[in-house]
Amino acid sequence: MFLEINEKLVKIQVLLRKKEKYQVQLNEYEREWESIQETIRQLEKTLQSEEKDVKRLEGISLASLFAALSGTKEEKLVKEKEELVIAQYRLEQATRTLKDIEESKRLIENQLSELGNIENQYENLLLEKERLVKTSQSPMAKKVLEMSEQEGILQSKMRELDEAIVAGEDVSQLLDEALLALKKAQSWGNIDIFAKGGFITDMVKHQHIDHAEEVIRKGQASIRSFQKELLDVNKTTNIEINISGMLKFADFFFDGFISDFMVQGKISNALNQTRDEYDNVSEIVMKLNLEYNETQKELEKIQKEKREIIEKL
């Protein structure tokens, strides 16, 4: 009977912690969902305004005639079209982000639904535990059951750390790929500057830039997922991790690509920012691994002590 209730206690602790974790993540996704909805509304207004500006200069109007007479119409039209493209780009990115968040929300909601009302199961298990302790002739019975609960807590913690480590390694991989693409773009940019490579060199440079952008675009959901895992890990470990700037990195990256990357300095800036974020993520993953190993040692110690007590009951 002791072995059976011990197994139940360990399993229910893991499930309870998992449900709490999912609820925290869902709340954060809902907050982001509301924020990105407002961002999209503002971007749609900006896009409409930019479209009107372009049409105003392209059509026959007082402003258009004045710009034409002053010799600035073509210059203003180019500028307005650039601003229109930027507005379209930002709206597209925001819409993609919204879809990613909605997909993540659906996934977590399904996971919460599968767990059901495990709180009732836990309450029933507590009653069973209390009855078992009262009827047991051993003074160590209560001690064993308390150790089982602690075992469940540690197993949950290890699971959360492992999930955060995996998410962090995914982010590190995509950042490493982006770094490689940006380094190649920088090299081709240097050739373009010093050897006057011309059209072909410039085209190859931008291919590498586009690849770096695509990697970060695909990995934005991974960055968001890692950030959510760290939200939970921060509550259960001794690690202090600043996650406030993690999602801002992707925003910076995309904003950089609507700037003029013909300027070599901007490629270097993107490279430095990406390298800094890679180092930051690598350091976090290293800390998570250390915490995982320490937790594993603690769990093994409790399991050994509990096994020795049960064998004597």
Listed residues 135, 167, 189: the one ending a domain: 135
Return mean pLDDT, the chain: 76
Do both 227 and 106 map to the same domain?
Answer: no
Do both 153 and 274 map to the same domain?
Answer: yes
- Whether residue 4 is predicted with pLDDT greater than 90 in this model: the reply is no
Do both 103 and 143 map to the same domain?
Answer: no
- Whether residue 262 is predicted with pLDDT greater than 50 in this model: the reply is no
Do both 150 and 114 map to the same domain?
Answer: no
Its pTM stands at 0.64
pLDDT digits (tens, 9 = 90+) for 264-308: 566 777 788 888 888 888 988 999 999 999 999 999 998 888 777
Do both 239 and 154 map to the same domain?
Answer: yes
Per the structure, the count of domains in the chain is 2
- Whether residue 57 is predicted with pLDDT greater than 70 in this model: the reply is no
Do both 119 and 226 map to the same domain?
Answer: no
Do both 194 and 208 map to the same domain?
Answer: yes
Listed residues 98, 114, 135: the one ending a domain: 135
Of residues 194 and 95, the one with the higher pLDDT is 95
Of residues 34 and 237, the one with the higher pLDDT is 34
Do both 108 and 153 map to the same domain?
Answer: no
pLDDT digits (tens, 9 = 90+) for 193-208: 444 555 456 566 667 7
Q: What is the CATH number of the domain that holds 154?
A: 1.20.1330
The answer to whether the CB of 13 falls within 8 A of the CB of 96 is no
pLDDT of residue 38: 92
Do both 283 and 211 map to the same domain?
Answer: yes
pLDDT of residue 217: 74
Do both 145 and 131 map to the same domain?
Answer: no
Do both 106 and 210 map to the same domain?
Answer: no
Listed residues 90, 108, 135: the one ending a domain: 135
pLDDT of residue 102: 92
- Give the domain range for residue 94: 1-135
Calculate what percentage of the chain has a pLDDT beyond 70.
70
Do both 147 and 274 map to the same domain?
Answer: yes
CA distance 307 to 303: 6
